[in-house]
Amino acid sequence: MVVKLRREDPESRKWKRYEQQRKLIVGEFIKVVGDKDITEITRPEARSFVMKLEADGYKPSTVEKYSKFMREADRVVPA
């Protein structure tokens, strides 16, 4: 017998959290680089994003997570 303790589906909450974090990362990136197509982003722009995060006091693990997401996003964009 399975007892559902909460009304919310854990998978649903997990997905919403994931989506919120990704929107936050993209929003931060747009603040630094501007709203441009992901295929047009240059290495110096990506580096300036990382430097801005470090200057704003983000933890190294957070900077790495943000950077990793942006690298992965570039890979899934159709050419």
Task: Tell me the residue type at 55.
Answer: A
Query: In terms of DSSP H, where are the helices of 10-59?
Result: 10-33, 43-55
Identify the band that residue 75 occupies on the pLDDT scale cut at 50, 70 and 90: low
Query: How do residues 42-72 score in pLDDT, each as one tens digit?
Result: 889 989 999 999 999 999 999 999 988 888 8
Q: Which pTM was predicted?
A: 0.69
CB 49 within 8 A of CB 70: yes
CB 48 within 8 A of CB 32: yes
What is the token pair recorded at 53?
């995060």
CB 70 within 8 A of CB 25: yes
